[in-house]
Structures are given as structure tokens and as C-alpha cells.
């Protein structure tokens, strides 16, 4: 799985090693961190583009992120696509949670799902929320889910 920085630089080491190095670097600089993970997707003809982001927030000092992009040619309903986004975010969060716990870094999983029932993505809200919460993660949906609805969204358009 290929990850890159926002500037396009490809991460050569496993993402777990990169995240640990980033945490150590930031802590050595005196920064308190929180991590938000989110995925967004865009349908382009018969292809679905997915972008998953790991966003590091430095308390009162901005942030940075790592990005993974992939494509799928599997046809999905809107609900299936929203739950596929959540699955990708959970897989990422699960792979990092022990490391984040070790360094006492807060973690949120963001879903690009609207809490307003007038939006199509709302069909997946209850399943997504149950899935994320049952895994023990903090859940955020729109409008609070900036990792998926703003950060990842910019990478799939």
C-alpha cells in the first residue's frame, strides 16, 4: 500500500514506521498531537477513486497529513460506497491504534456521511456510526468530519 505526503513525496518506509517517526519528531518539538483518519470517494464513469488520509493535528500549531489513493471498478450503491469508505478508514485506524495508544495520541475516525436525512449519504449513517463505535473509535460525521469531507475530498476531485 503506497502512502505519500501532501507534497506528493512517496513514503518509502511502512506507514507504521513513518507515523512513529512523525510522533517522535513532533513530541521532541514539544507538540501535543491528535490523529484524524478519514476516507472520501468520487465516482468517475465506471471507476471509483478513494482517498484515505491520516491527519495529524498539532495543538494550536497546524498539522500535516499522509495520503493513500486507490481505485475500484466494482459497481456500488451510495450506501455501499459510504460503508466502503468507512471500512478503509477503520482498517487504517486499526493498524495504527496500538502505536497511537503507546504514545497517548488521540484518534478520531471521520465519515463523509451527512447527518441531515435529506442527503443520500445519510442512508449509511447508522451502520457507519455503529461500525466505528463498536471498534472502540471516536466517530465524527459531517459537518465535524473534516478529515474525510475536506482533506480527503480535495484528493478525489
- The CATH code of the domain that includes 89 is 3.30.420
Q: How many domains does the chain have?
A: 1
CA dihedral 76, 79, 80, 86 (to 10 degrees): 130
- Domain boundaries, position 58: 4-155
Predicted local confidence at residue 157, as pLDDT: 64
CA distance 121 to 50: 16
Name 61's Cβ contacts closer than 8 Å, sequence gap at least 6.
31
Considering the chain, what percentage of its residues have pLDDT values greater than 90?
84
Is residue 76 pLDDT above 70, yes or no? yes
Predicted local confidence at residue 1, as pLDDT: 80
pLDDT digits (tens, 9 = 90+) for 100-117: 999 999 999 999 998 888
What's the pTM? 0.93
Per-residue b/e over 118-132, b at no fewer than 16 CB within 10 Å? Answer: eeebbbbbeebbebb
Amino acid at each position: 500500500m503506497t502512502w505519500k505526503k501532501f507534497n506528493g513525496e512517496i513514503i518509502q518506509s511502512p506507514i507504521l514506521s513513518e507515523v512513529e517517526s512523525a510522533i517522535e519528531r513532533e513530541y521532541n518539538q514539544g507538540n501535543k498531537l491528535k490523529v484524524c483518519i478519514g476516507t472520501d470517494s468520487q465516482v468517475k464513469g465506471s471507476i471509483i477513486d478513494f482517498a484515505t488520509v491520516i491527519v495529524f493535528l498539532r495543538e494550536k500549531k497546524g498539522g500535516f497529513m499522509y495520503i493513500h489513493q486507490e481505485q475500484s471498478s466494482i459497481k456500488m450503491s451510495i450506501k455501499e460506497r459510504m460503508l466502503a469508505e468507512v471500512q478503509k478508514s477503520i482498517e487504517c485506524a486499526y493498524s495504527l491504534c496500538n502505536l497511537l495508544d503507546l504514545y497517548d495520541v488521540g484518534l478520531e475516525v471521520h465519515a463523509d456521511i451527512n447527518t441531515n436525512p435529506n442527503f443520500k449519504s445519510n442512508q449509511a449513517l447508522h451502520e457507519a456510526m455503529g461500525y466505528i463505535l463498536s471498534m472502540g473509535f471516536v466517530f465524527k460525521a459531517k459537518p465535524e468530519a473534516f478529515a474525510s469531507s475536506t482533506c480527503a475530498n480535495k484528493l478525489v476531485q
